[in-house]
Structures are given as structure tokens and as C-alpha cells.
Amino acid sequence: MRKSAIGSIDLWVALCVVCFAGNVIAVSHTPCAETALYVGAWIVLYMLLRCAPLARIPNKVWAYLCATLGCLEVGLGLIQLTGFRPSGHHLYAMTGTFFNPAPFGAFLVVMLVVILATYKREGRKTLGVVAVVLLIVLPAAWSRAALLGCAVCVALLYRTYIVRYWKTVAAVALTVMVVLYFLKRGSADSRALMFVVSAHAWMKHFWLGIGAGGYLHALGENQAEYFAKHPDSSFIPCAGVADLPFCEPMRVAVELGAVGLVLVTVTVALTAWKLWKARHPLFYGLTALLVFSLFSYPFNIPVFGAILAIILATTANMGEERLISTGKVFSLIGVIVLGFAVFSLFMPRKEAEKEYERFSFIKDEAFIKDYYELLPLLNDNPKFLFNFGSLLRDAGRYNDSNAMLRQGMMLSADPMFHILMGRNYEDMQEYEMAEAQYRHAFHMVPNRIYPLYRQMKLYETMGDSLRMRDMARRVTDFKEKVESPATRDIKKEAGEIMTAIIKESK
């Protein structure tokens, strides 16, 4: 029987693409050009790989490829550890090619579990040695999500022994999980808060979502709503500003709704099932990546999107004809042309980002024109929009500044957008609007003292000594998340204001 060139995974991937494109066009009100381009690049990669005989690649070749990539990453990490090359983050000594150790750990785990799965079946000593090396380096990444992904895959690989000694394994696993939780309790609680708030945001736009690119905005706004309703919440000490989604499935649910979540889930589940039936080692790489995505942001990093595209295309090639196997070379040409089109759209953005980096640290009104020229290409970059709004404020163009800040709010969960807007309103003598912005900023992250300080200064500007005194007392009594010279200066100023008011009243 002739095999079909179009398989079930192709169809589900196509449905996911249609859902995403429809969401961008009809639902989203947030600029998301960069996200759309990355999705486009991954689809092009998937289509190109569907034209290749990936299914004929032996399992051991996949394992040796992963071993090579893993060793290169470990080698770079060790060079960073010795100080001969800087890491991607100033707080961490080892990050490999990534900007912090979490994705570094995730990459090692994906490579490691593919190697382990092949080693278990074929017993090649070289693979065993590489697996030991990766296991030794992995804890240095200090990523609990990566370790959990590794543990899940190892449990699946050695499930016979797990079942036999399940009591001992369960006791050890529970102990390790409790220890890891208390070692970084604040981080774990913060992720729990984000999950609760994200679920609340999803329920408001259940079927179609808030729109592509809108996750961080939804997170910030719903976090403010949550803390406004629960001022004594136990989550307050762990609240923070998220600049990345720490749960990919929840981001899909919030942005694309239940429709998008179901399509993505079915596509991934079908892929995993086919890999499992074929006893392919890439099943474990996919599993590790999915576990990591429950607690982190792998698909904000291009390499992990590429890994997913490779796994999907490899699985789609199993039992199906390649897309050009019937001799229709035009399909390959079309994919290549599409790839060049996506690449050509990337280039102006990258040039704009380089141009922006040249003057981003300079606050001079002479660069306002340059900001406006780059705005069409960087209108989905929150850092660019915040700096632009700040520069316009310095120039006294408060309405223009607020326009940029409002656009930035749609892309960010950072309360500083609201504080800067509040200061604009304050200078425009729109005091009620300024107060509303400061209150909202405080509710977004209620363990920060600065929004309360701005409210205190606002009441001082208004000449409202009663409310200024009450806010000064609140500032001096405030238990901030992180004490610093700045917070001590703020409390000292608030104390001086209270003292001055008391003296005046006498």
C-alpha cells in the first residue's frame, strides 16, 4: 500500500499554525512580531526536515550527536568555570552558550536522556562515559526543573526496578523533593503564585485566550487584582516581576485559550506516543523538554524550539513518505523561499536592536528622533519602550511618554511602567490619575516600598499633610523583601517627614 506524504502529525502541526496565525490576526492586540517570526522559523525548519530521510537515521547516530553537543556545552561551561571565558550571567560561573544556568541544565538533560536510552539498549561504553560526565556537571546548573526532567526520564527507562523497589524509591524521591523545595523555597512559591494568577487570567478568556504576546501583561494585571483582593496573602513575600513565562503550557492557555492548548497538547501527545511505540530515544528527549517546560521558559529560547521541530519532523517521517518523495521538487523550493522570507524579516529587526544598543544607555533628547525611527521594528520590545518613555518624560513630553509606556505595559509585568506614568501625571497635576498608577504598581508587587514612597511624595506635592503622615508611617513600618541603602534612605526620609508633621501640629 502506498504511504501518504501527509501524516497525522503534519495535520496537527498545520492546525496549530492556523490557530496561532488566526489568534495573531483576530484576537491579539499586542505587538508580537518577534514571537511570530520565531514560530515561522520553527515551521520552516519542520517543513525542511520533513523533506529529509530522518526516520532512516539509526538510534545510535542520534545518541552520538547528542553526546557531541553535550560535550561541547560541558566543555564551554568548564572553560567559564575556570575564568578563561565569561559566563552568560554575572551571578553564575557556568552557563554554557545560554544566558543563565537553567536552560544550560535543560539542554544537558535533553542530551543526557537520549544518550542513556541508547546506552541502555546497546551498551556502548563511549556513550556511558559521556552520560557520567553530563550527570556530574548537571547539578552545577542548579536547575530543579532540569533535575526533575532527568528523574522522570530515568524512572521511565528503569521502570522495572522502580516498580520492584517502589517504596524505597518513593521515600527517596519525596525526601529529595522536600529538600529541593526548602533550598529554594522562595522561587518555588513564586512559581506557585504565577500558576494561580495565570489560571485566573485564563478563565477570563477561556476559549480564545488574551492573544499572542499578551501573557506577561495578563500576569501583571491579574497579580495586581489578586493582591488587591488579598492584602494579607501568604504569597506576598515571594511576589516578584516576571520577565519570562515560567510555565509554557499556561502561557499557551492564557494567550491562545483552550482551543490552542488542546491543539498543542494533542500534537505533542501524538508525537510522544509514536516515539514510545517505536522505542525511539528521542521520546526521552521530548519528555525531559516537556517536564522542564512546566516550570520554565524553554520555548523563549530558539534552540529549544528547534529541538522540538526536529523531534516533530523525525516522528512525522516514521511510516510516512517524505514531502518531496513523489518528485514534487517545487514543494522543497517553496519551503526554501519561505525560509528566506522569514530570514529577511529577521534581519531588519536584528539591525534595529544593534542600533538601539549603541545609544540605549544615553539619555539625551537628541536621540528621540532615532527612537521614533526604530519604533516600527521594536514596538514589541518592552525595554525599548520603557527607555523611550523615560526619555520623552525627561524632555517634558508627558503625553507622548505615557503613550509609549502604555504600549510597553501590554508587553510587560513590570510595575515601573505604572510608576513612571504616575510621575508624568503628577507633573501634569493630574493627581488622582497619579495616585491610581502608584496604587496599581504597589498591588502588582506588594513587597516593594518604592510605590508607597511615590504616594507619600505625591501627598507632599498636594499639600495633604494628613495622608502624607499616614503614608509616611506606613513606609517606616513597611517590611520590604530586600533591604538596601535605597530602602533605608526612603525610610529615613519618611521618618523625618513624620517628625516634621508632629512638630508642626504642636
Cβ atoms 13, 197 nearer than 8 A: no
480, pLDDT greater than 90: no
Question: What is the spatial distance between Cα 114 and Cα 94, in angstroms, rounded to a whole number?
Answer: 23
Question: What is the spatial distance between Cα 153 and Cα 160, in angstroms, rounded to a whole number?
Answer: 13
Question: What is the spatial distance between Cα 425 and Cα 183, in angstroms, rounded to a whole number?
Answer: 43
Q: What is the mean pLDDT of residues 220-236?
A: 95
Which range, 238-252, 277-291, 308-322, is most confident?
277-291
Is residue 121 included in any domain, yes or no?
no
Is residue 380 included in any domain, yes or no?
no
Is residue 164 included in any domain, yes or no?
yes
What residues contact residue 210 under an 8 Å CB cut-off, 6+ apart? 27, 28, 201, 204, 217, 218, 254, 255
pTM of the model: 0.93
Model confidence over 147-177: pLDDT tens digits?
999 999 999 999 998 888 888 888 988 898 8
The whole-number pLDDT of residue 277 equals 95
Question: What is the spatial distance between Cα 173 and Cα 166, in angstroms, rounded to a whole number?
Answer: 10
442, pLDDT greater than 60: yes
123: left (phi over 0), alpha (psi -120 to 50) or beta: left
Is residue 98 included in any domain, yes or no?
no
Q: Which residue has the cell 528566506?
A: 340
Model confidence over 229-271: pLDDT tens digits?
999 999 999 999 988 889 999 999 999 999 999 999 999 999 9
Question: What is the spatial distance between Cα 68 and Cα 285, in angstroms, rounded to a whole number?
Answer: 15
Model confidence over 326-361: pLDDT tens digits?
445 556 666 677 777 778 888 999 999 999 999 999
Is residue 462 included in any domain, yes or no?
no
484 vs 4: which has the higher pLDDT = 484
What residues contact residue 81 under an 8 Å CB cut-off, 6+ apart? 93, 94, 140
1, pLDDT greater than 50: no
**Dihedral sign of CA atoms 418, 419, 425, 430 in order:** positive
Which triple of cell numbers denotes residue 127? Answer: 556513550
The whole-number pLDDT of residue 492 equals 93
Q: Which amino acid is at 229?
A: K
Q: What is the mean pLDDT of residues 402-426?
A: 97
Is residue 115 included in any domain, yes or no?
no
Is residue 310 included in any domain, yes or no?
yes
Question: What is the spatial distance between Cα 320 and Cα 309, in angstroms, rounded to a whole number?
Answer: 17
Model confidence over 316-328: pLDDT tens digits?
988 765 665 444 5
The whole-number pLDDT of residue 326 equals 42
b/e sequence 444-481, b meaning 16+ C-beta within 10 Å: bbbbbbbbbbbbbbbbeeeeebeebbebbbebbebebb
Question: What is the spatial distance between Cα 105 and Cα 141, in angstroms, rounded to a whole number?
Answer: 5
* From 45-54, 306-315, 361-370, the region with the lowest mean pLDDT: 45-54
Tell me which residue of 453, 420, 448, 449 sits closest to 434, measured CA to CA.
Answer: 420
CB atoms within 10 A of CB 306: 16
Residue spans of beta strands (DSSP E) within 279-369 = none
Strand partners, 92: 89
Is residue 348 included in any domain, yes or no?
no
Structural domain range at position 184: 18-58+144-340
124, pLDDT greater than 90: no
Q: Which residue has the cell 544598543?
A: 357
Q: What is the mean pLDDT of residues 479-490?
A: 89
136, pLDDT greater than 60: yes
Query: How much of the chain exceeds pLDDT 70, in percent?
Result: 95
Question: What is the spatial distance between Cα 410 and Cα 218, in angstroms, rounded to a whole number?
Answer: 8
In 3-state terms, the chain is what percent helix, strand and coil (to 5)?
Answer: 75, 0, 25
* Domains of the chain: total: 1
